[in-house]
Amino acid sequence: MSRLAQTHGLTDVQREILSTVRDFVDKEIIPVATELEHRDEYPQDIVDGLKELGLFGLMIPEEYGGLGESLLTYALCVEEIARGWMSVSGIINTHFIVAYMLKQHGTQEQKDHFLPRMAAGDIRGAFSMSEPALGSDVSAISSKAVKDGEEYVLNGQKMWLTNGGTSSLVAVLVKSDEGHPEGTAPHKSMTTFLVEKEPGFGEVRPGLTIPGKIDKMGYKGVDTTELVMDGLRVPADRVLGGVTGRGFYQMMDGVEVGRVNVAARGCGVAQRAFELGVQYAQQRRTFGKQIAQHQAIQFKLAEMATKVEAAHAMMVNAARKKDSGERNDLEAGMAKYLASEYCKEVVEDAFRIHGGYGFSKEYEIERLYREAPMLLIGEGTAEIQKMIIGRRLLEEYRFQG
């Protein structure tokens, strides 16, 4: 059932992939999502199913065993998955960002070593920029790497790693002093390390501890953790791209495609909220008629559907721009900002349509209501998107007087 959020100009292969994913979401995710979410249970069967569908390798080039698909295909799959359960899209998102960073910036040896097993879903990625004292202000990172022979020694604490426990490869951004004299701009003295580890909690590798899951308001099922480095030794060939000082740019490149991904999640969650709202509005009766027949409710549905369409169009535009090889930071920032704000509003309207029942854990909208706010924060808050958008607008519309 979907007249909204159609995408024109897709290839047969894209349409086939999307129809397979939608089918999987309807049969394997939606029926179990709310129950698993309430138990904060990791959806192992769903993850196994995604592995079988090849989704962990969707954008990894075919030469490494992936499907070699575009960002648009990926984003549309994410939209479908988030429509079923946003946490599942979180499980593939950090993996996708790390694979993308490896593809774009990794040495040949790093690509050969990681990408085939990432495509198969046997190695799963997490990425780590945030620390307890910072999220938006990445330049303030205080975790450090110091060179010691052919290795680097890493110390510091990281925060908010999605898939921190279940992953076996973490891309970690730290300050590195080697080759960067005192006074070097912060973004030029950061390095991304590819840190391999055992999945799980506790000391997962000498010098590396994943303390446990952070208890969250929503976005449950997927693990979000801290990461503590205490004398963690990483070989020099695990510097992403083989050269220090490029980490900030590599991470920002990853986050940019991640923003399209978060926009896609906002679209998926909003679509589901609309579906739930429009169904409930035709079941519930007040004052002798379906509530859908009250103009106030119809207006809500109209506003919700318009927001779903607008967010989808902007998300598709941002993905297509990146796929064409053009810079897309403006479009990705706008899409992420709009889709996450609209998602929160559409979910709130669907919640209101449900009346008191929306407050009951028996109704799916209760889960969506707790999930939507995460999208306002992840991959950069609304304020950070507006800073990016504003800066770019001033570049494009420079006053010539």
Ligand X SMILES: Cc1cc2nc3c(=O)[nH]c(=O)nc-3n(C[C@H](O)[C@H](O)[C@H](O)COP(=O)(O)OP(=O)(O)OC[C@H]3O[C@@H](n4cnc5c(N)ncnc54)[C@H](O)[C@@H]3O)c2cc1C
Looking at the annotation, which residues are catalytic? Answer: 379
CB atoms inside a 10 Å sphere around CB 119: 23
The one among 135, 186, 211, 242 contacting ligand X by CB under 6 A:
135
* Residues of this chain, 16-75, that bind ligand X according to CB under 6 A: none
Stretch that binds ligand X, among 47-55, 70-78, 157-165, 257-265 (CB under 6 A): 157-165
The one among 101, 102, 161, 262 contacting ligand X by CB under 6 A:
161
Q: Least distance to ligand X from the beta carbon of 74, Å?
A: 17
Nearest CB to ligand X, comparing residues 270 and 384? 384
Nearest CB to ligand X, comparing residues 121 and 380? 380
Contact 54, 96 (CB under 8 A): no
Contact characters 212-251, ligand X, x per CB under 6 A:
----x--x----x---------------------------
* Position of minimal CB gap to ligand X: 135
Stretch that binds ligand X, among 64-72, 135-143, 201-209, 339-347 (CB under 6 A): 135-143
Contact characters 94-133, ligand X, x per CB under 6 A:
x--------------------------------xxxx---
371-374: which pairs have CB atoms within 8 A and are 24 or more residues apart? 371/86, 371/87, 371/218, 371/219, 371/269, 371/347, 372/218, 372/266, 372/269, 372/273, 372/340, 372/343, 372/344, 372/347, 372/348, 373/217, 373/218, 373/344, 374/86, 374/218, 374/219
- DSSP letter (8 states) at residue 28: I
Q: Give SS3 for 304.
A: helix
Nearest to 61 by CA among 70, 53, 73, 52: 70
C-alpha span between 237 and 159 (Å, rounded):
25
Which residues lie across from 155 on neighbouring strands?
A: 144, 230
Q: Least distance to ligand X from the beta carbon of 390, Å?
A: 11
Residue 88 binding ligand X, by CB under 6 A: no
CB atoms inside a 10 Å sphere around CB 107: 16
Q: Least distance to ligand X from the beta carbon of 55, Å?
A: 18
Contact 207, 233 (CB under 8 A): yes
C-alpha span between 238 and 197 (Å, rounded):
13
C-alpha span between 203 and 198 (Å, rounded):
9
Q: Least distance to ligand X from the beta carbon of 169, Å?
A: 13
The one among 11, 136, 282, 298 contacting ligand X by CB under 6 A:
136
Residue 162 binding ligand X, by CB under 6 A: yes
C-alpha span between 305 and 300 (Å, rounded):
9
Contact characters 365-394, ligand X, x per CB under 6 A:
---------x--xx-xx-xx----------
For residues 223, 229, 235 and 237, what is the CA-based torsion angle, rounded to 10 degrees? Answer: 50
CB atoms inside a 10 Å sphere around CB 184: 14
Q: Least distance to ligand X from the beta carbon of 174, Å?
A: 12
Q: Least distance to ligand X from the beta carbon of 92, Å?
A: 12
Contacts with ligand X by CB under 6 A lie at 94, 127-130, 134-137, 160-162, 216, 219, 224, 374, 377-378, 380-381, 383-384
